[in-house]
Amino acid sequence: MERKIALVTGATSGIGWSTALTLAGMGFDIIATGRREQRLKELSEALPEGTRFLPLVFDVRDREKVLEILGNLSEDWNKIDVLVNNAGNAHGMDPVQTGNLDDWDAMIDINVKGLLYVSKEVIPGMTERKSGIIINIGSIAGKEVYPNGNVYCGSKHAVDAITQGMRIDLNPFGIKVIGIHPGLVETEFSEVRFKGDSERAEKVYQGYEPLLAQDIAEIVEFVVNRPRHVVLADIVVLPTAQAAATLVNKQN
Ligand code: NDP
Ligand code: 8X3
């Protein structure tokens, strides 16, 4: 059987890390990206033995670098079957009137423009081969807006709209485009959002059972495993304790 290739952005932690491991377990060759080179080395050591692995270190905001690196993949790596656009984060959680411009730039540049830059390089191979699966990791924040979520919610609403747009434009090519929109997943997400304030970050996941990165990876596995004629186009996945972005049944 011909080996298949999956590219996972933001594979140095959380959802991307678990997704890369899961796809490797399914037999995919893995291209994993992120800014933290050491973490990619650790990921390579955690992969099942024999996995073909290509770590790529770049910041998805760096348009020239993204295009250069992904545009010059070698013959044995450039036929990407599954693209998981996962790299992203929230930066800050302030009301719009006191929001920080650097945080806004980061969220728009990483979550929206970074996803577009990566997709821009990967899509032509898929249209040429008339096959492929693109999975965009959105968020409940792309389906609802919550207090102080303003720009993060805006970036994830953009991911939702771009996902729908991709599905329409890529429809003639038989490419599956899937949006996965998680609620609260315990990862490094809140640590990043609250700029290293671990105590505040930990509180986000206390008093109920949050999703784990592996829960999202298993959904990726499920959607990738569907037969050719089936696409789970849009999936919202929440912890059972969560009913809406800000409604969580906490026990303490
Ligand atoms: P983590 O903080 O654990 O992981 C974020 C990943 O994105 C890291 O691998 C990080 O790699 C990468 N990343 C961030 N900024 C950049 C950048 N500028 N260039 C390249 N890579 C970058 O968080 P999660 O796993 O939770 O987040 C993954 C995705 O899931 C995000 O898009 C997030 O918005 C979404 N999400 C998360 C939820 C949650 O509750 N955790 C819920 C809903 C959606 P590195 O730092 O090495 O560059
Ligand atoms: C991450 C989940 O609830 O902070 O996208 O928006 S939330």
Write the DSSP string, 41-80: HHHHHHSPTT--EEEEE--TT-HHHHHHHHHT--TTT---
Residue 1 confidence class, pLDDT cut points 50, 70, 90: low
pLDDT tens-digit map of 91-104: 999 999 999 999 99
From residue 18, alpha-carbon distances to 115, 137, 173, 195, 226 in Å are 19, 13, 29, 23, 20
Cα 140 to middle of ligand 2, angstroms: 6
- Going by alpha carbons, the residue nearest to atom 6 of ligand 2 is 141
For the residues 161-177, what does the mean pLDDT come to? 98
* Residue 96: its H or E element: none
Of 6, 11, 9, the residue nearest 188 (C-alpha):
11
pLDDT tens-digit map of 80-90: 999 999 999 99
β-sheet bridge partners, residue 33: 56
The mean of the pLDDT values for the chain is: 98
Residue 56 confidence class, pLDDT cut points 50, 70, 90: very high
Cα 193 to middle of ligand 2, angstroms: 10
Q: Choose which residue among 146, 184, 212, 242 to substitute to test ligand 2 binding: the one with the highest number of ligand atoms within 8 A of its C-beta.
A: 184
Residue 35 CA, chain-centre distance (Å), reads 14
**Cβ of residue 137 lying under 6 Å from some atom of ligand 1:** yes
**pLDDT value at residue 252:** 77
Q: Where are the alpha helices (DSSP H) in 47-135?
A: 63-71, 101-107, 115-129
**pLDDT value at residue 202:** 98
pLDDT tens-digit map of 115-149: 999 999 999 999 999 999 999 999 999 999 999 99
Q: How far apart are CA 198 and CA 185, in angstroms?
A: 15
Active site members: 152
Q: How far apart are CA 21 and CA 79, in angstroms?
A: 20
Residue 3 confidence class, pLDDT cut points 50, 70, 90: confident
Of 109, 1, 9, the residue nearest 62 (C-alpha):
109
Domain ranges, ordered by start, for the chain: 5-248
**pLDDT value at residue 2:** 74
**pLDDT value at residue 6:** 99
**Cβ of residue 141 lying under 6 Å from some atom of ligand 2:** yes
Q: Is 244 helix (H, G, I), strand (E, B) or coil?
A: strand
Q: Choose which residue among 110, 180, 189 to substitute to test ligand 2 binding: the one with the highest number of ligand atoms within 8 A of its C-beta.
A: 189
For the residues 202-222, what does the mean pLDDT come to? 98
For residue 140, the ligand 1 atom closest to its alpha carbon is 43
pLDDT surpasses 80 at 212: yes
**pLDDT value at residue 216:** 99
Considering Cα of 89, then 91, then 94, then 95, what sign does the dihedral take? negative
**Cβ of residue 10 lying under 6 Å from some atom of ligand 1:** yes
Q: How far apart are CA 187 and CA 206, in angstroms?
A: 13
CATH 3.40.50.720 fits 5-248, yes or no: yes
Q: How far apart are CA 119 and CA 84, in angstroms?
A: 10
